[in-house]
């Protein structure tokens, strides 16, 4: 019986690889979104101590992950459990990947009026979004 206790205590003292993987993925995900840890645990409804234990790979992570999935609108319940997690792109990366640059690179070289009109409409829509964003910030 004492041998069984020793085996269990040795097993418990070994780092849990799944918890460590989930902790790393959650940390990386939060950093990719440029959100604070406080913002995340407050919005998810996870108690502060439980959240920081999760980030260290400690405790029962299975109770907290569904709350994070709901907060971040992740439909895959095993998203944070994967080794090959695809992190969201941050705003700077998205802005650097301008739709105009992408479409110009794939443009076949013909002078197409539909393409020009589409790009003009897209440019107007982007400008309107910037104006609305500025107006929202002002008041």
Do 85 and 29 contact (CB within 8 A), yes or no? yes
Burial 35-44 (b: 16+ CB within 10 A, else e): eeeeebbeeb
- Residues 65 and 19 both lie in one domain: yes
Domain count, the chain: 2
Residues 48 and 104 in one domain: no
Looking at the structure, tell me whether residues 103 and 76 fall in a common domain.
no
Q: Give dist(CA 79, CA 86) in Å, integer.
A: 9
- Of the residues 81, 112, 127, which one is the last residue of a structural domain? 81
Q: What pLDDT does residue 127 have?
A: 86
75 with 13, same domain: the answer is: yes
pLDDT for the residue 3: 43
pLDDT in tens, 110-127: 557 777 788 888 888 988
Q: Do the domain assignments include residue 18?
A: yes
Domain that includes residue 124, residue range: 98-138
User: For the chain, give me the number of helices (H) and strands (E)?
Assistant: 8, 0
Say if 90 falls within a structural domain: no
Helix (H, G, I), strand (E, B) or coil at 119: helix
CATH for 73: 1.10.260
Asked whether residue 44 is domain-assigned, the answer is yes
- Is pTM, for the whole model, over 0.75? no
Does any domain span residue 69? yes
Per-residue pLDDT tens over the stretch 47-104: 999 999 999 999 888 899 999 999 999 999 999 999 988 888 766 666 666 666 666 6
Residue 86 resides in a domain: no
Residue owning tokens 């260290």: 56
Indicate whether 77 and 102 sit together in one domain: no
* pLDDT tens digit sequence for 4-49: 344 334 444 344 889 999 999 999 999 988 889 999 999 999 999 9
Same-domain check for residues 65 and 105: no
């Amino acid at each position: 019986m004492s041998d069984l206790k020793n085996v269990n205590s040795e097993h418990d003292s070994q780092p849990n690889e799944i918890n460590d993987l989930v902790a790393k993925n959650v940390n990386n995900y939060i950093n990719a979104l440029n959100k604070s840890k406080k913002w995340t645990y407050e919005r998810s409804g996870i108690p502060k101590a439980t959240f920081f234990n999760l980030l260290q790979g400690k405790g029962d992570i299975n109770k907290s992950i569904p709350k994070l999935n709901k907060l971040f609108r992740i439909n895959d319940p095993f998203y944070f459990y994967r080794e090959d997690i695809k992190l969201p792109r941050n705003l700077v990366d998205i802005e650097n990947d301008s739709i105009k640059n992408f479409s110009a690179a794939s443009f076949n070289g013909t002078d197409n009026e539909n393409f020009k009109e589409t790009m003009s409409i897209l440019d107007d829509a982007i400008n309107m979004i910037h104006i609305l964003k500025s107006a929202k910030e002002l008041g």
